[in-house]
Chain A
Amino acid sequence: QVQLQESGPGLVKPSQTLSLTCTVSGGSISSDTYHWNWIRQPAGEGLEWIGRIYSSGSTNYHPSLKSRITISLDTSKNQFSLRLNSVTAADTAVYYCARRYSGTNWFDPWGPGTLVTVSS
């Protein structure tokens, strides 16, 4: 059974870069069956899909974050990563990674999430 686990710094200073990693266990990230996604939830707000990467390396990003975001794969470690540049307090959120089957439009499973706070 596939499991996802987010990891990374819990505190990032304003204007710096947020970097998170999602480690996938129980399945290969290189499989062309799946797409790998990042989703976040600011405190007191709803969920926001922020981007995805396919095994080929192709990506799609939320239009409002497109200029600041990069998602990449590390197949040797069975991980995918999120980098968000020039962060502000508005980027403070719980960040989740999640899997999506190719050709479908739902996310399953998800990681438990990791809180990232942007503060000086």
Chain B
Amino acid sequence: DQQVKQNSPSLSVQEGRISILNCDYTNSMFDYFLWYKKYPAEGPTFLISISSIKDKNEDGRFTVFLNKSAKHLSLHIVPSQPGDSAVYFCAASEGTGNQFYFGTGTSLTVIP
């Protein structure tokens, strides 16, 4: 049961341009969303979060947008840097739970 979906397994972007990673979810009870970055042979690293009371959260080069009616969130990275090359996971949870549901990840490659 894929409650969180990342339909693009990979994405390539030129250095300096914008990277847009997308995530869709099916459970309307999800109210907290996170993005994680994962390098090979390492654990996921928290990047940015957003709660359902907001539609945008910004932290430096990273901005997460939430469209609750479409059950869609996206992560924008601008400008993209080669060090951003990693697998990006979105994750979601319901308000009363501790369980996070992860997407399958999108592998981002930033080309110098």
B partners with A: no
Could you tell me which A residues sit within 8 Å of B by CB distance? none
Could you tell me which B residues sit within 8 Å of A by CB distance? none
